[in-house]
Amino acid sequence: MDPLLTFIVILVGMYGLSTSKNIIKSVFSVTIMESGVILLFLNLGNLEGGSIPIITQASEIIADPLPQALMITTIVIGSTVTALALMLCIKVFHHYGTVEWREILRRGGGK
């Protein structure tokens, strides 16, 4: 029941997104969710007794290579999103002096 566990990781990320009042924590929650999705992909693409998706003489059953390839793309996307979000976070901190969602929304007219 591995996929269930990975789905719990996704739900933990969603819980964090819906409760944390701090921008950095929100960024982390998105990262956690992303890790959950990646694990879910790899888990569901795996086969019982399958080896790594590299063709050698011996390989009969292999894990599905497509989800793995897709996940490399997702990892790159995820890391860029995290980097961009953290950079914006630094900038928000420079401008408002805080990284609390409620505080930054309240300040400066809050439009």
Is residue 9 within 8 A of residue 87, CB to CB? The reply is no
- Shortest distance, CB of residue 75 to another protein, whole angstroms? 8
Amino acid at 11: L
Cα distances from 99 to residues 85, 90, 111, in angstroms, run: 12, 9, 17
- Shortest distance, CB of residue 7 to another protein, whole angstroms? 5
User: How far apart are the C-alpha atoms of 13 and 1, rounded to whole Å?
Assistant: 20
User: How far apart are the C-alpha atoms of 98 and 89, rounded to whole Å?
Assistant: 10
Residue with tokens 């980097």, as numbered in its chain: 83
- Shortest distance, CB of residue 48 to another protein, whole angstroms? 10
- Shortest distance, CB of residue 111 to another protein, whole angstroms? 6
